[in-house]
Structure 1
């Protein structure tokens, strides 16, 4: 029996790692693992795909947020280590990496306008999720970092590298990735990582200020305009090898595999995250 849209939405709302709330044409999607800083796991990717892979055509705006103090502290390093223990060739990383690419593509290429609502830190995979959204607003206390290189990994998750080069520029992207330094909300706005910065208690109002006029736009015009923006942006990327991200991440992780350690935080992210 084919499930109705209401039944599918109800099933999505029972997700363990992601919470959803439908408000008419606006769908709010919240990463819901605050104890880990909303670290991205394979279970979270599965839950995001359940929401995003078959989008509701009546949703005009999708708001992506994170529960707790931080938007997302990146990928779960403990899960990476478990995958390498199970298969030293990195098969588990390849599988999850492919899911990450599909999640980010759904956010960027889906017909709904996507808004990232960012508080606290957006690190590694968390920054990739935010960059996949069309519009990004951050609290004035938010912070960002790409720590992968310090962890012995390439910046290859969810197509983040071509998006960074397109949005930020090649020279600045090179500096952020090679140094792995943290940057704050004001610099993020200067780099176009954020389009707007507000006090944290004004984040919801800022999201509403964007969403309210969007839901009034004619559906066909909104959908076609987003498709046009994506189409015109594509040539400026020159190449988008995101399909190779999972292979690159798995190959490098397997080649640089190190013994597990505890309490490590060399890259400045929360322990256990990428």
Structure 2
């Protein structure tokens, strides 16, 4: 299915994203501002559709979020419904596998991917941002990994190995175990962001990267992206992100069993 055969406006099949094309640049906006662009199953489906088959001439993909925040993480109501329907966690397992595939598509895209971040970027939102090649954030942006406080492992979309690879194990350990919020300046120091600017200059900062990349020959850009991805892989710690869905499901099932035993 070619979502973009009709031109530059948002494809009618997309329910949670807005897209537009400008030359060799494809802009993809998470568009559920009423929920803080919380990641849902329909949003994962839309992201998979877009990143698995962008227009062949695309050299840059810009991922942004509508409204005040880039993304407030996974949709907790949807997650709770999954657990209620199946306390063994099978729905959570399927969702986790889908999230991993989406993030791998973003990372492995032959186009250069840019995350444009404002407001809060939390949990699953941070995983989506980290999957991108380049990340620019507003100087007022904040970041957080709250999973442990919610009784869940930090296992969504391969966020933990990506974060350790970019930031370093000791610093990531502190961020994950405390779940504290950190600001743009610290995110820049940790290489979570490569650049910070006033929020009103985010679009200009994105264009500063997108314009020269958009002029690069397609074949050379594709090979260079593949080389960067390949050379970066050996420097990662063992990457068990393929198990993210399984890990999440096992914790959900264990928590349900503990509750039942306490109530019995």
TM-score under structure 2 length normalisation:
0.94
Tell me the CA shift for residue 120 of structure 1: 0.2
Per-residue CA distance 1:230-270 (angstroms, 9 max, x = gap): 101100113211110011011112222498xxxxxxxxxxx
Contact 1:93 1:249 in 2 (8 A): yes
The number of residue pairs the alignment matches comes to 258
In the alignment, what sits opposite 2:168? 169
Per-residue CA distance 1:74-110 (angstroms, 9 max, x = gap): 0011111100111111111111111111110111011
In the alignment, what sits opposite 1:24? 23
TM-score under structure 1 length normalisation:
0.90
Contact 2:16 2:46 in 1 (8 A): yes
In the alignment, what sits opposite 1:227? 226
1:104 partner SS: helix
How far apart, in 2, do the equivalents of 1:202 and 1:28 lie? 17
How far apart, in 2, do the equivalents of 1:11 and 1:3 lie? 12
Per-residue CA distance 1:100-142 (angstroms, 9 max, x = gap): 1111011101101000000000000000000000000000000
In the alignment, what sits opposite 1:123? 122
How far apart, in 2, do the equivalents of 1:75 and 1:55 lie? 24
Contact 1:13 1:21 in 2 (8 A): no
In the alignment, what sits opposite 2:193? 194
Tell me the CA shift for residue 37 of structure 1: 0.3
How far apart, in 2, do the equivalents of 1:3 and 1:188 lie? 36
How far apart, in 2, do the equivalents of 1:42 and 1:194 lie? 27
CA RMSD of aligned residues (A): 1.7
How far apart, in 2, do the equivalents of 1:47 and 1:180 lie? 29
Tell me the CA shift for residue 180 of structure 1: 0.6
How far apart, in 1, do the equivalents of 2:49 and 2:7 lie? 9
Runs of 4+ that moved beyond 6 A: 8-11
Structure 1: runs of 5 or more not aligned = 260-274
Contact 2:10 2:19 in 1 (8 A): no
